[in-house]
Structure 1
Amino acid sequence: MKTLPVEMMGRVARVLPLLLLVLLVALMTPLIAASFGAADIQVSQVLQVVIGQLTDQSQGDISSRIIMELRLPRIMMAFVAGFGLAIAGAVLQTVTRNPLADPYLFGISSGASFGAVVVITLLGGASVDSGAWLSHVSLPVGAFLGASVAVLMVLALCGRSLSTQIERMLLSGVAISFMFGALTSLLLYFSGPQAAASVLFWSLGSFAKASWATLWLPLVVVAVCTLTILLFKRQIVAIKAGDETAHTLGINVQRLRLNILLLCSLITAVLVANCGGIGFVGLMVPHIVRLLLPGRFALLTTGIVGGLFMIWVDVLARCLLSYQELPIGIITAVIGSVFFLFILGGKRGR
């Protein structure tokens, strides 16, 4: 009994430096990322502006407006998006026991995009970058309905014996993703040129329209869904051990899996409605955390790493080309496809 506190103190001593490092990186990343962009702003200026806002001594010059009204909301939206997608990917990989699970590969992102485009098309072709009630409320609702339909279709194709249908579930998700992508393209084909161009750029993923007014909904949804998932953490870990093991522990596996998939759909739908389609983040980040932190895989750590990863991807999208901005989805697709092949090669080697 006396050795238990000693072991706990030793475990804390091993983890504490890593946690302090992650916290330091999380605090420094927004300040450094806010200095990148078309306007030349130093990190010291960013720090002065932030301190001025906190102490009500802001100067109100052009640099302050760029930092507070453009770059920091964008950085916060990128962090929330990366956090939510990483959480969704990690949970999907656990409840399906499939290391290749991802909201993008499972068709959830495509279903959400289709639902949002249907709302835009049916409600008079409203622009996705408008600040009206449509883009704030009804777009996430339509995206969630589309993502939920995609999840239900994947589960229907797999049947009840999911424990023996892991590969079939992934193939079903890919097929449904292509189907919803084709339906979205069909809707864009019959839309006007201006609306089609706007929706096309949005569907590729971008944080260009992020603002403090649009940040609250993704932040609240991701936070509530993450807390709900953490409440069912033990049941989720039991499913990872197998459906039969979970059943013996008194867990309703089918109901729990459906509820968790719907939570992941809600996270993905809200992020897609605000940021467009961003793929492979939920696939890459959980594997990266497992490689960097073997034996210490934690859900919140995965979310934080996903948020930091998305911030730097956004910086790359803003700075890779002069006076142009690359869509976020293109960069994550390039990185994610290479990572996907790397995982397949590793599984084949084993």
Structure 2
Amino acid sequence: MRVAASSVLVLACLFSFISALSIGAINVDFYDVWLALWSYDNTQLTQKIIIELRLPRTVLAFLAGAGLATAGLILQTVTRNPLADPYLFGISSGASFGVVLLITLFGMQSGLAMSGAALLGSICAMSLLLLIAYHKGTAQIENMLLAGVALSFLFNAFTSLLLYWSDPQAITAIIFWSLGSFSRADWAWIWLPSAVVILGILSVICFRRHLNALLLGDESAVTLGVNVHKLRLGMLLVSSLLTAVLVAACGGVGFVGLMIPHIVRFFISQARVLGMLATALSGGLFMLWVDVLARSLIDNQELPIGVITAAIGSVFFLSLLMFKKRSTSI
């Protein structure tokens, strides 16, 4: 059963990937997509559009979904809270603040520079979070949640202040970036999110036994020989790295790290390697179709990615709350 479900998920990802390459302002047949992938000819306009424009964008969309879903899974595991995600802990807000600071002060918008600024901002947010939440060498989960929400508002306030003092041209660029988009995807720097997402997924798989022990509680994990302090700190740093690089690459994309682990948890246990891989693949699958919607819902215009994910995520959780309310009343 698990093998069949995994095969269906992989095939769905492959089909969605090819579909994302074929759908757009100019629709392309599947045959032409395969032809461009296997025997690229840069003299053909259609193949040039697929390889140089749509392929890096589609790769980035899949990486963003997989990385954010993995970051959400990490945070939900180390905090034992199903509502934890990079936005709730202020990681995404800190990364956004770092990028906005870079753009407003230096006017730099290169992928590598923005990733570095986002990483510094997320590490700053995570350091403040740990400084506030840790008491006598142990992390209080409730304190982490409250501190994360407070830090998120704090960094959002700093970001708004920077926007207030920025020139109109910088404000336009920042607002467009903050709403989320994959249009900046470029082969020159896409190796960075690729490496970080692969590193994040491998980290979760390698430490899956320790993470599963952590779900039993800190005391039970310690009795099983797990260094809870180092494990939680290391996983939070991995989540920060994932969030920072992806925020720098595609802007603010919310609800993915919160919603996808929930959906996968309905069908498969995330304590196994298969469940962790399914979470990453489901996140990538989700973002592929979000990107297709962003490019095709309105003619000659592109909707922000963050707007679509926020709308879908809000409806999902409102439906989930109503379902739980009905199930408890029966």
Q: 1:267 aligns with which of 242, 265, 284?
A: 242
CA contact (8 A) 2:65 2:284 kept: yes
- Distance of aligned partners of 1:331 and 1:30 in 2 relative to their CA distance in 1, 3 Å threshold: same
Cα displacement string for residues 49-94 of structure 1 (whole angstroms, at most 9, x for unaligned residues): 22223xxxx2621111111111111000000110100001011101
- Whole-angstrom CA distance in 1 between matches of 2:203 and 2:321: 32
Alignment TM-score, normalising by the size of structure 1:
0.87
Structure 1 letter corresponding to 2:182: F
Q: 1:223 aligns with which of 184, 194, 198?
A: 198
CA contact (8 A) 1:204 1:328 kept: yes
- Whole-angstrom CA distance in 1 between matches of 2:304 and 2:207: 35
Write out aligned runs for 1:31-46 (5 A): 31-46=18-33
- Whole-angstrom CA distance in 2 between matches of 1:25 and 1:268: 25
Cα displacement string for residues 184-203 of structure 1 (whole angstroms, at most 9, x for unaligned residues): 11111111111110111101
- 2:100 aligned with 1:117, yes or no? yes
- Distance of aligned partners of 1:40 and 1:347 in 2 relative to their CA distance in 1, 3 Å threshold: closer
Q: 1:99 aligns with which of 78, 82, 102?
A: 82
Q: 2:34 aligns with which of 47, 52, 56?
A: 47
Alignment match, 1:335: 312
Deviates more, 1:170-179 or 1:107-116: 170-179
- Whole-angstrom CA distance in 2 between matches of 1:77 and 1:224: 16
Alignment match, 2:128: 153
- Distance of aligned partners of 1:246 and 1:345 in 2 relative to their CA distance in 1, 3 Å threshold: farther
- Whole-angstrom CA distance in 2 between matches of 1:266 and 1:210: 19
Structure 1 letter corresponding to 2:100: V
- Whole-angstrom CA distance in 1 between matches of 2:8 and 2:68: 22
Alignment match, 2:278: 301
Q: Give 5+ residue unaligned stretches, structure 2.
A: none
Write out aligned runs for 1:135-174 (5 A): 135-160=110-135, 165-174=140-149
CA contact (8 A) 2:42 2:48 kept: no
Deviation at 1:157, TM superposition (A): 3.2
CA contact (8 A) 2:22 2:28 kept: yes
- Whole-angstrom CA distance in 1 between matches of 2:316 and 2:6: 26
- Whole-angstrom CA distance in 2 between matches of 1:155 and 1:345: 34
Write out aligned runs for 1:1-350 (5 A): 14-53=1-40, 58=41, 60-123=43-106, 125-126=107-108, 128=109, 135-160=110-135, 165-293=140-268, 298-345=275-322
Structure 2 counterpart SS, 1:212:
coil
Structure 1 letter corresponding to 2:280: G
- Whole-angstrom CA distance in 2 between matches of 1:42 and 1:320: 19
Deviation at 1:293, TM superposition (A): 2.9
Deviates more, 1:114-123 or 1:270-279: 114-123
Deviation at 1:237, TM superposition (A): 0.9
Deviates more, 1:136-145 or 1:275-284: 136-145
CA contact (8 A) 1:158 1:168 kept: yes
CA contact (8 A) 2:133 2:139 kept: no
Cα displacement string for residues 256-277 of structure 1 (whole angstroms, at most 9, x for unaligned residues): 1011101100010001111111
Structure 2 counterpart SS, 1:214:
coil
- Distance of aligned partners of 1:271 and 1:278 in 2 relative to their CA distance in 1, 3 Å threshold: same
Deviation at 1:43, TM superposition (A): 2.1
Q: Give 5+ residue unaligned stretches, structure 1.
A: 1-13, 129-134
Structure 2 counterpart SS, 1:97:
coil
Deviation at 1:338, TM superposition (A): 2.6
How many pairs align?
A: 325
State the identity as a percent: 53
Deviation at 1:337, TM superposition (A): 2.2
Structure 2 counterpart SS, 1:101:
coil
Larger Rg over CA atoms:
1
Structure 1 counterpart SS, 2:197:
helix
Structure 2 letter corresponding to 1:51: W
- Distance of aligned partners of 1:215 and 1:51 in 2 relative to their CA distance in 1, 3 Å threshold: same
